[in-house]
Amino acid sequence: MIIETTAEDHSALADGRAPRRFRLPDTPIAPPGVLAMLADVATTVRATFAPASWLIVDDDEVVGLCSITRPPQGGVVEIGYGVAPSRQGRGYAGGAVMAIVRWARHDPRVIALVAETSVLNPASQRVLLHAGFDRVAERVDEEDGPLIVWRCDTP
**Would you kindly state where each structural domain of the chain is located, as residue ranges?**
2-153
pLDDT at 92: 98
pLDDT at 136: 98
Cα–Cα dist 91/134, whole Å: 19
Given a cut of 70, the residues of the chain with pLDDT beneath it are: none
Tell me the fold of 2-153: Aminopeptidase (3.40.630)
Sheet holding 2-4, edge to edge: 2-4, 53-58, 61-68, 76-83, 112-118, 145-153, 134-141
Q: Considering the chain, what is the average pLDDT of its residues?
A: 96
pLDDT at 155: 79
To the nearest 10°, the Cα dihedral for 107, 109, 38, 145? Answer: 110
pLDDT at 104: 97
Instruction: List Cβ neighbours of 51 (8 Å cut-off, separation of 6 or more).
Output: 4, 5, 68, 103
Cα–Cα dist 76/8, whole Å: 27
**Bond from prior residue into 51 cis (ω within 30 degrees of 0):** yes
Across-strand partners of 115?
150
Cα–Cα dist 96/65, whole Å: 9
**Predicted TM-score of the model (pTM):** 0.93
Sign of the Cα torsion 128, 63, 39, 145 reads: negative
The rounded Cα 78 to chain-centroid distance in angstroms is 9
